[in-house]
Each structure stands twice: as C-alpha cells, then as structure tokens.
Chain A
C-alpha cells in the first residue's frame, strides 16, 4: 500500500512537472486575450447555478467534488 502510494505520488509529481514544462510552450500573448476576456469565457461564470447544481446532486447521488470541494454541511435527504 505504501509502495503504491509512493508510486502514485511520484507519477503525479512527474506528470505535473511534464505538464508545467509543456504549459510554458502553449498559451497566448497579452494582446491575444480579446476572446478569453469575454464574460462567457470565464471558467466560473454562472458560479451560483453550479453551486445550486452541486447541492442538488450531492443530495441525490453518491458522488461530490471535482469541480470544487467535496461538499458537506448538510444532512440532505
């Protein structure tokens, strides 16, 4: 179990390093952000709707988390 955890952590760290070095090569210049600055391109637009969704699905399904914290704070039935 401990070896597996070590393996997963090392693989994760390696993947992160690889992704970050890859990240440096992609992206845009400051003057190319016209589309990215549109409100509908913000990754958290409609945050309240997603919070309502998370609350509904948290109380109807066994899964939570991923998009943000794993939920809690309710004795949902």
Chain B
C-alpha cells in the first residue's frame, strides 16, 4: 500500500502553473506529458472560431518541471459593430477605411470582415525551493495581425499543515500592442469624417511631398502610427487550497487585474440618432467611434469546491467579479463526473452567468444632447445573462492515454428593448439573443 500517495507534480505543481499561466501540463517525476485540446465554436449567423492547444510537460532533475503550451486559433465571420438597426439601408466604412458594407433595414448591423489568426506561446519552469515551497517562472507571447502581447510571470506556493493547506501568490505583467487596420480611430470621432480624412490625408501628403523638403516629420508620424497603441496589464492572484476531509477540497482565490493604455475596441461604433421630437426619431444621423476610459481595474473572488461521492465527483464554483467601469457579475459553474464503466465517465456541465452594464454603455447617443466623455455600444458591456450546458465523455484508449469528446451550447440574452429606446428603435430588437455551439476533443498522454 502506498502510504505517501500524494500527487507531487500533477497536484501541487500543476495547480501553481495553472494558476500562473494556465499551463496545465505536468508529469509525474521522470515522465513526460503531452496534452491537447481542440475546440470548434460556432455562433448562429455570426463568428466561427477554431482553437487548438498543445501542452508539453517534462519533469527534470531535482523535481523541476518544464512546461510549454502552444495555442492556435482562427476566427472568421460577423460581429456586431455597435450600431442600432434602422428602417433604411445603412452603409458603414470598413475598418481599413477602404470601401464599405451595407446592412438591410431592421437588421442589427454586423461587420462581416472579421478574419483573424492568433497564435500564442506560454512557457514555465517550476523549481522547488525546499520541500514545501515552489517557485514558478513563466513567459508569454501572443500575436495576431493587429495585436501582440509579451509578458512574464512569477508565482510562489507553500504547503502547510501536513500539506492540507497550500498558499499561493502569483504576479504577471504584460505589454500589449494594438495596431488596428487603418490606424486607431480618434475616440468619439465620426466614422464618415474618418473616411473623408483618409482621403484628405492622402491629398495632404502629396502636397507636402511636392512643396515641403522637411520629410523627417512625416516619417516619424508614419512610424508612430505603425507602432500602434500600447497597453500595460498587471495581474496578481492570491490563492488558498484547503483539504477539508478525505473527500473534499476547497479553493479560494482573489484576483486583481489592472490594465492601462489603449482599451478601446477600434472596430466598434455608437449610433447617434435623432431625438424623440424629430420626424425620424431613433433614425441614425451619424456613427462615432467608441471611447472607453484609459484604465480599468478588475477584481474577482473565486471559490471552488470539489467533492468525491462514492465514485462520483462534483465540482462547484462561484465567482463574484467587479471592476471600476461599473460592471459586476456572478458566475456559478457545476461539473458532475459520473463513472460509466472502468475508466469511462460522463461529465455533464452547466454554467450560469449574469453581468451588469458598464457605466458608459450606451445603446445609442441622441443628436444635439451633451456628448459624454466615454461611450461604447459593445454588447459585451451591456447587461445580460448567459447559460452554458454541455456534456463530455471521457475514456482511456491505452496505457496512459485519456481521450475526451464533448459538446456545449451557449445562450446569451440581454435587454431586447432597453427602456431608453424610442421612435423607430422601439420596434427593433436592440440586443438579440446570441446562441453558440461548441464541440471539443481532448487527449492526455503520460509516458
């Protein structure tokens, strides 16, 4: 009988690396681990995405653990641009500033030009400092055509009380850079003015080239716009994991995330509509690029309880989230692992989520009303709730190889007709329900 049957690497280290970087690949001493997961995500009439992750873990001398993770994802389809529906055909400038796209009367405007590929690499090294303390150092890089992120992290964990308690603290910093197509638009500037500006700029540059011999300034300007806009992100997470009894483990986390710099979504706009007194109340007269504050502090407390019940495993978690943009949210998630036969298991899963709106969330702005300092019509800053329900089947296919196949359904519902809507807008769905289907497959091999 193995009295010290603790899971040294798969448990403690994977907990810490996962907390640090989400790199869950961990192997028992002297072994390697390869795991992979593929997700296909499909929204009805909107975005389609495919995402694949491969994680490698290798146990090195002296209980050190090296982990690497490569993520690739591809995205295509249509995403709401933030504008409200109209009784007329609406035409929008494409993000590049060249050409446009039209939206039929009564439809929620979707920008169908989204197409992106993102890849990211995470690496970490876990090093025991003594029998009870481990330090994890990590690095991260990700890139897509208009966004890059480079970061580093450090984490410490310490076991107490005969390893029934684990305390952890980790911190991360990342420097992100946004290079929107067509350059970052000025916040709250008119979309049509920008299209005109682009034409003017071209003409201006030609004029300068013809009559101005001071070309250096132009080059500097070009370089600045090429470099895009920056964003600094700081993260800290404090965690406590506690064995409560022979079948139950509890985890409590507090996380703080601070970002500053360019936090706008450069592709989102807000409609400016005619006021209630006008003949075309609710009809758009202009579209402005959104403007968000240049700082955001997000905090969350998270509690997770896992319990073993005569062969079954229940994992229940709750998160309370708040930030200084006025968003608060609650998330409840439940996984139930049900053994079917030797090594095979079914895992149903439900998730419930509800959020309040950001202070500056505006479905639209009204013509001639005082302009706000910040405004965004991004549906992700709106008040809504969401439900996910899914099922996963887990089974072994050989020595050390575990496979999982599953599917999930995600439903998002908000305020179809917000109280502030008026005129023609009150006849349209301003926050249509969003439905998505996810299919996933995973494998995990230890050798």
A66 in contact with B255 (CB, 8 Å): yes
Which of these binds chain A: B143-151, B189-197, B270-278, B423-431? Answer: B143-151
Q: How many residues of A contact B (CB 8 A)?
A: 52
Instruction: Evaluate whether A26 and B245 lie within 8 angstroms (CB atoms) in the complex, with A60-B380, A62-B381 already known.
Output: yes
Total count of chain B residues near the partner, CB < 8 A:
105
The residue on A at minimum CB distance from B170 is A69
Given A27-B243, A70-B255, A73-B140, 5 extra CB contacts under 8 A = A26-B243, A26-B245, A48-B35, A72-B233, A77-B116
Q: Evaluate contact between B235 and A69: CB separation under 8 angstroms.
A: yes
- Name which residue of chain B comes closest to A12, CB basis: B254
The complex places the Cα of A69 from the Cα of B138 at a distance, in Å, of 13
**A19 interface residue (CB < 8 Å to B):** yes
Are B255 and A52 neighbours in the complex by a CB distance under 8 Å? no
Asked whether any CB of chain B lies closer than 8 Å to the CB of A30, the reply is yes
Residues of A within 8 A of B4 (CB): 30
Checking B75, B245, B255, B256 against A77 with a beta-carbon cut-off of 8 angstroms, the contacting residue is B75
Q: Judging by beta carbons under 8 Å apart, are A77 and B79 in contact? A: yes
A77 and B355: CB pair below 8 A?
no
Known: A62-B381, A63-B355, A73-B140. A36 touches B249 (CB 8 A): yes
A29 touches B162 (CB 8 A): yes
A65 touches B255 (CB 8 A): yes
- Chain B 204-246, CB-CB to A under 8 Å as 1, else 0, gives 0000000000000000000000000000010101001111111
B344 in the interface (beta carbon within 8 A): no
A61 touches B24 (CB 8 A): no
Q: Nearest Cβ in chain B — how far from A24, in angstroms?
A: 5
Q: Encode contact with B along A11-35: 1 for CB under 8 Å, 0 otherwise.
A: 0000010011001101111111111
Q: Does B6 sit at the interface, judged by CB under 8 A?
A: yes
- Smallest distance from the beta carbon of B436 to chain A beta carbons, Å? 8
| Complex CA distance for A60 and B170, rounded to whole angstroms | 26
For B142, the chain A residues whose CB sits under 8 A away are 73-74
- Whether B380 pairs with A61 at a CB distance below 8 angstroms is yes
User: With the chains together, A5 CA to B412 CA distance in Å?
Assistant: 35
B124 within 8 A of A: no
Which residue of the partner chain B has the closest CB to A58?
Answer: B380
| CB neighbours of A39 from chain B (8 A) | 7, 10
Contact A40 B327 (CB under 8 A): no
A62 vs chain B, min Cβ distance (A)? 5
List the B side residues contacting A2 at CB < 8 Å: none
B253 at the interface (CB under 8 A from A): yes
Q: Given A67-B319, A73-B151, A75-B144, answer yes or no on A44-B18 (Cβ-Cβ < 8 Å).
A: yes
Contact between chains at B6 and A37 (CB < 8 Å): yes
Identify the 10 closest CB pairs spanning chains A and B, nearest first. Answer: A47-B24, A27-B164, A70-B257, A66-B302, A73-B149, A75-B147, A66-B300, A48-B37, A65-B255, A66-B319
